[in-house]
Structure 1
């Protein structure tokens, strides 16, 4: 499975991407820090077609869709988090240590530690232990 790529971009001087030791990515990962931070902890396992960004890259209002007036919010992913394939993590999300995110999920809100989340939008399925 060496047919994919990874695209990491810190777009502004203030933008940062941090990836902890032991974290592994499958094919076709995209990480974009537009103006803030995307932090991924240690020993995470990340499935193919993963996407995370600290921004929507435009405002929702018609007048703010192309003028650069929009908000960014940091994304923080803890240690030992496991992501299935085709997961998207949106701005402002914190995913706590030891959680699992099911394949095809879109994470729009914070994820509790040691829990399984899945769906669109991702919701709590159960506690692991």
Structure 2
């Protein structure tokens, strides 16, 4: 399969949800690799950097991925536009469960699995399972040769 699929029938949300993908500024980019399949209710926002999803990934319903917090934490920066962005990289063959949040600056290694409802705030090792809030290492996957 070489095409990218966004939206899956008959999965929940096919009729009443949206796929929102935005490169918000001139330097921002969203890249989705061939063979990736994304279920319903997607949000991807590249505010100032890049959100890149590799080839042959499987992404569940209601997944949110962004390179930005969109506001500074300090009171003076909450409306000033002074905040940090950092690219997100999801490697090839990653499996992301439903209701996952992937935040700025994260790299997810090849073949990793992100469990349902995880909030990914730090890098994920290749060939491993991460789960929880915040997402933590659960186990290494066996490699079939």
Shorter-normalised TM-score: what interval? Answer: over 0.9
Deviation per residue, 1:18-44 (Å, 9 max, x gap): 000000111100000000000000000
Task: Using structure 2 for the length normalisation, give the TM-score.
Answer: 0.88
Q: Are positions 1:11 and 2:24 aligned together? A: yes
Residue correspondences, number: 129
| 2:118 alignment counterpart | 105
Q: Distance in 2 between matches of 1:69 and 1:87?
A: 27
| 2:34 alignment counterpart | 21
Out of 89, 92, 106, which is 1:76 matched to? 89
**Aligned-residue CA RMSD in angstroms?**
0.6
* Structure showing greater Rg: 2
Task: Using structure 1 for the length normalisation, give the TM-score.
Answer: 0.99
Deviation per residue, 1:25-80 (Å, 9 max, x gap): 11100000000000000000000000000000010000000010001000000000
Structure number with higher strand proportion: 1
| 2:5 alignment counterpart | none
What is the correspondence of 1:1-129 to structure 2 with a 5 Å cutoff?
1=11, 2-3=14-15, 4-129=17-142
Q: Distance in 1 between matches of 2:72 and 2:41?
A: 27
Please list every run of 5 or more consecutive structure 2 residues that lacks an aligned counterpart in the other structure: 1-10
Please list every run of 5 or more consecutive structure 1 residues that lacks an aligned counterpart in the other structure: none
